[in-house]
Amino acid sequence: MILKHGINGNHKEMGYVKEALERAYDGSSKKENSKLLVHSAKCNEKNSLDGIEAGGLRFANEINDVVRGVAVDIARVYRHRKCSELSSNKTIGGANIALSIMGNSMGGLYGRFALRYIDWIVPVGIGSITIDVLVVPHVFVTIATPHLGIKDMTYWKVPAFLEPLVAGMFGQSGQDLFRRSTLRKVKKSNKMKKRRIIRRLTDDELYENIGLLAQT
């Protein structure tokens, strides 16, 4: 289970959740064939203002590092198996990593972005043999995550003319949360579409004129 804090936060803000999950697991009767690792991500503790994309990529890299460490541990458990059971590029049966992600506030957005870059198959070398440990998506949870951004959804109404200022206070992440990055892309796309339409209409008119000239 990977936990992710929100903007300007740190891994300790998810501490209670981590403890609660570990207590629930310790008291579970279904833990005989499993092992729980709860990891609070730290990659964006001091740099969560450079945008969802940059932070999401860092989060994905940290997830992959944690998952690889678990995959290596799994491979070590199975390294004493017979050589016939560990052929090249063999997938270990029944020993998968069930990956869950819980993101608080903007941490949920980091998690959504990171999903695309997670290594769902982790190759691990055991001597001259490489085995694949499968990563299975399990649970994805977000808490108070602004999936639609915070434009028109702030505690106090932010006038449109003040949005650039407020967003700028939180760097690129503020631009993303107020959806200003998306608005710029949409406006640019609309301008390009208008230019294409104008050009197409001009071409059509030209062809019509050529046709009229040919008839006369």
| Residues 137 and 66 occupy one common structural domain | yes
| 127/117 same-domain check | yes
Which among 192, 105, 186 has a CA at the least distance from the CA of 145? 105
Nearest residue to 33 (alpha-carbon basis) of 71, 74, 67: 74
Q: What is the mean pLDDT of the chain?
A: 82
Q: Which residues touch 125 (CB under 8 Å, ≥6 apart)? A: none
Please tell me whether residues 44 and 83 are part of one structural domain: yes
Per-residue pLDDT band at 186 (split at 50, 70, 90): very low
Residue ending a domain, among 122, 147, 172, is 147
CA 83 to chain CA centroid, nearest Å:
38
pLDDT at 203: 54
The span from the CA of 122 to the CA of 125, in Å, is 10
Instruction: Show which of 102, 125, 147 is a domain's final residue.
Output: 147
Domain that holds residue 197: 149-216
Total domains in the chain come to: 2
- Supply the pTM of this predicted model: 0.76
129: which 2 tokens?
């043999």
- Rounded CA separation 210/207 (Å): 5
pLDDT digits (tens, 9 = 90+) for 115-152: 999 999 999 987 777 888 999 999 999 999 999 888 87
Same structural domain for residues 139 and 171? no
